[in-house]
Chain A
Amino acid sequence: MTTETAETETPAPRRSWQEWLREYSELGVSALLFVIGVLVLADALTMDVDIAQRGPIGPKTVPVVVGAGLLLVAVLLAVDVLRGGRGEAEGGEDIDLSEPGDWRTVLLLAGVFLAFAVLIGPVGFPIAGALLFWGAAFALGSRHLHRDPLIAAVLSLVTYFVFNNLLGVPLPGGPLMGVL
C-alpha cells in the first residue's frame, strides 16, 4: 500500500500531508482490516492441530479463508479509495452531517463508559449506573444541575430492582445495597 501512497502523492506535491490524510482517511479502515487479517492468519497458522484434527477440515481452514479474505478486501478497499470511492456516512433523525464531527463528545462518552466498567465492581450497579447516565447526559450537553442527577438515580435504582428482584438477572448491589 505504501507504494500506491507515494504514487498518488506525486501529482499534487503542494498539498500538505495533513490535508492528504484527511481526504484519504478511509485508508485507515483498509489498514485496520489488513492488520486484523494478518492477526487472524498468524493465529490460524500457528495453531497446533495434529492431535485435534477430526474430519477432512480442521479448525484451521475457516480462519485461513477469513484471514486471506480480510487481506484481499483491505487491498481492494485501498484501491477503491485511491480511485476516489468513498463510503457514505450514515444519516439519521438526529444526525446533522453538515457540521464536522464532534470528537470531544465521543471521547467523553467512551471515557464515561470505561469508568462505569471500572466502577461497577467496587461501588455496585446502582451508583455506577447513575453516574453512567448522568455522565453521558452531561457529555451530550444536558446541564440541568438538579434534574439530571435525580433522573439518573431513579432510573438506576428502578433498573436495579426490576432486573435483580423481578427478572432474576443478578446485578451487583455494592455497598449502597448493603446499607439499605
Chain B
Amino acid sequence: MDSLNSLLDGFGTALTPVNLLWAAIGVLLGTAIGVLPGIGPAMAVALLLPVTYGLEPTGAFIMFAGIYYGAMFGGSTTSILLNTPGESAAVVAALEGNPMAKAGRGAQALAAAAVGHFAGGMIGTILLVVLAPTVAELAVDIGAPDYFAIMVLAFIAVTSVLGSSRIRGLASLLIGLTLGLVGLDQMTGQQRLTFGSLQLADGIDVVIVAVGLFAIGEALWVAAHLRRSSGEPIPVGRPWLGKSDVRRTWKSWLRGPVIGFPFGAIPAGGAEIPTFLSYVTEKRLSKHKEEFGKGAIEGVAGPESAASASAAGTLVSMLTLGLPTTAVAAVMLAAFQQYGIQPGPLLFEREPDLVWGLIASLFVGMVLLLALNLPLAPLWAKLLRIPRPYLYAGIMFFAAVGAYAVGGEALDLVILLIIGLIGFGMRRYGLPVLPAVIGVILGPAAEQQLRRALQISDGSATGLVNTPFSVTVYAVIVLLLAWPWLKKLIMRRRNVSV
C-alpha cells in the first residue's frame, strides 16, 4: 500500500495548476504531432527538449509523457483516415481502420481506437504503479557491473532485434558510439576526437544528435522523395460507438494490454510487435472472421489498446533500470541527463516527487486525451491538410531553434546539418536510426560504468560478472545473439519430426 500513498502524493503534484497546464500542453502537442504526417513522437520530444531548458524537471517530464501518449492517440487518426501510417506502431490500425472509414464507419473506427488507447493506457499505467516500485526494490543494490551489463543488453537488443539487417544495425550503433566519444574523457579529462577544437571539447550535445538524426535527417529524406500528390483524408464525423460495437470490442480493449505491456518493458522495438500480435489474436478469437481485412472493429480496438499499454511498459524499464527500449524513451533519458538526474532503481528513493508526479500525470493525461479526442476528432483531421512544404520547412525551422538554444553557437548549427546528412544517408541505405541514438546517449555512461567496475576489481575481468544480476543479463544477451541459429535448429527439428 506504500505505492498507493506515494501515488496519492503524486496526484497532489500532478494536479497543481501549473503541472496540469503542462500536461494539457503536452497532450495537445502530442495529439497534433501524432496526427501530423511525418512527425513521430521521438522527433517531437527531441524538438521540444530546448523548450524545457527554462522549466523545472517535474513540469518538463509531465509534458513529455503527455506528448508520448498523445502521439499514440493521434497516430491512429492518420492511419484510419489516410491509410498511410507514419509509425510502425500504427500500421495495424490502418489494416482494419481504413476499410472501415471507406465504408462510412470512420467515426466508429476512431472511437474504437480512442477508447482502446484509453483502456490500454489506463491498465498499462496501473501495472506500472504496481510493478515499478517492486522492480526498483529488487534492483536497488545493483552496482557498476550490473549497469554495464544492462547497457550492453540495450546495445545488443537494438541492433539485433530491430530492423532487417544486423550488420546495418551494428554500423548505426558504432556511429552513435563514435559521436558519443567526442569531447573530454569524463574520468581523466583527456581530449578525444576533438582535433584541437575548443568547441568540440565540450562534446556533441545529445540534443543536437537527436534533433539532427530525427528531424533534419527526416526532413531531407522526405524532400528527396516528396509525394507530389498527397492522399485525400476521408471526411469523418464525431466518433461514437453503437451498442453492438461496444459488445464486440470491450474484450479486445482488455486483451490488448496483456500483450502490449510486457513487450513495451523489454527491448523488442516498442509497439510494433505487440500491435501485430494483438491483431492476430483478435482475428483468431473473433466471431466475425470474414470481416477481417474489410473493416473489423476488433482489429482496431485490440492493437490500439496494446500500443498504449506498451508505452506504459516502456516507462517501467526506463524509470527503474535506466534502460530505454524505444526511441522516445531514449530521448527522454537524454532529458533526464540534462537535468543531472540518473534514472534507475534509486530514482524512486531520490526523486519521489518527480516520479510519482509523472506517473499520476499519466492518468490525468489519459482522461484529457479521451476528452480531447472523442469530440474533437474532425478538427484534428483537418491537420492532415497542411501543405507539405510548410510542414517540413517548419520542422527545419524548429530544429534550428533547438540546436541554437543548446549553447548559442552557430557552429552547433553546422554540426546539426552534418548529423542531419548522416541521418539522411542512414535512411537511404536502410541503417536504423535508433541504435545510433542509443549509442550516443548510453555510450559515455556505459564506458564510465565499465571503467568503474574494472577499477573496483583491480583490472580483473571477473569484476564484470561477479553479481547474479549481471550474469543473468549476460545470459539473456547470449540467448538474443544465438536466437537466429536456435530458430533454425528448432525449425529443422520440426521438419524432421513432420
A18 to B164, CA, bound (A): 28
Name B229's closest neighbour in chain A (CB-CB): A96
Q: A57-B454, A93-B38, A94-B230 are in contact. Are A109 and B223 (CB under 8 A)?
A: yes
A138 to B390, CA, bound (A): 9
Q: A29-B429, A52-B190 are in contact. Are A102 and B174 (CB under 8 A)?
A: no
Whether A63 contacts B192 by the Cβ 8 Å rule is yes
Whether B188 contacts A163 by the Cβ 8 Å rule is no
Whether A117 contacts B455 by the Cβ 8 Å rule is no
Interface string of B371-396 (1 = CB under 8 A from A): 00000000000000001111011101
**Does B408 count as interface, using CB distance less than 8 angstroms?**
yes
Task: Report the contact-size class of chain A (Cβ under 8 Å from the partner).
Answer: 35 or more
- Shortest beta-carbon distance from B449 to chain A in Å: 11
Within 8 A of B (CB), among A66-90: 66, 69-70, 73-74, 76-77, 80, 85-90
Within 8 A of B (CB), among A99-133: 99, 101-103, 105-106, 109-110, 112-114, 116-118, 120-121, 125, 129, 132-133
**Does B9 count as interface, using CB distance less than 8 angstroms?**
no
Whether B427 contacts A90 by the Cβ 8 Å rule is yes
- Shortest beta-carbon distance from A52 to chain B in Å: 4
Query: Which of B175, B181, B414 is A62 in contact with, Cβ under 8 Å?
Result: B181
Instruction: Write out the residue numbers on chain B whose beta carbons fall within 8 Å of the beta carbon of A97.
Output: 225
A32 to B428, CA, bound (A): 14
A102 to B221, CA, bound (A): 10
Name A69's closest neighbour in chain B (CB-CB): B174
Interface string of B38-70 (1 = CB under 8 A from A): 100000000000110111000000000000000
Of listed B82, B86, B223, B228, residue having the most chain A CB within 10 A: B223
Instruction: Write out the residue numbers on chain A whose beta carbons fall within 8 Å of the beta carbon of B85.
Output: 93
Name B40's closest neighbour in chain A (CB-CB): A92
**Does B114 count as interface, using CB distance less than 8 angstroms?**
no
Whether A44 contacts B192 by the Cβ 8 Å rule is yes
Instruction: Write out the residue numbers on chain B whose beta carbons fall within 8 Å of the beta carbon of A125.
Output: 404
Whether A118 contacts B455 by the Cβ 8 Å rule is no
Instruction: Write out the residue numbers on chain B whose beta carbons fall within 8 Å of the beta carbon of A88.
Output: 164, 430
Task: Report the contact-size class of chain B (Cβ under 8 Å from the partner).
Answer: 35 or more
Whether B190 contacts A101 by the Cβ 8 Å rule is no
A114 to B177, CA, bound (A): 26
Whether A169 contacts B405 by the Cβ 8 Å rule is yes
A136 to B222, CA, bound (A): 13
Instruction: Write out the residue numbers on chain B whose beta carbons fall within 8 Å of the beta carbon of A139.
Output: 223
**Does B281 count as interface, using CB distance less than 8 angstroms?**
no
Instruction: Write out the residue numbers on chain B whose beta carbons fall within 8 Å of the beta carbon of A105.
Output: 223-224, 226
- Shortest beta-carbon distance from A156 to chain B in Å: 8
A80 to B221, CA, bound (A): 24
Instruction: Write out the residue numbers on chain B whose beta carbons fall within 8 Å of the beta carbon of A92.
Output: 37-38, 86, 218, 221-222
**Does B338 count as interface, using CB distance less than 8 angstroms?**
no
Sample of 7 A–B contacts (CB below 8 Å):
A49-B188, A97-B225, A136-B389, A136-B396, A141-B226, A142-B389, A163-B405
Nearest first, the 10 A-B pairs at minimum CB distance are A87-B430, A56-B459, A93-B37, A136-B393, A142-B389, A168-B54, A117-B413, A140-B389, A55-B455, A59-B185
The chain A residues found within 8 Å of chain B, CB to CB, are 26, 29, 32-33, 36, 39-40, 43-44, 47, 49, 52-59, 62-63, 66, 69-70, 73-74, 76-77, 80, 85-90, 92-97, 99, 101-103, 105-106, 109-110, 112-114, 116-118, 120-121, 125, 129, 132-134, 136-142, 151, 155-156, 159, 163, 167-172
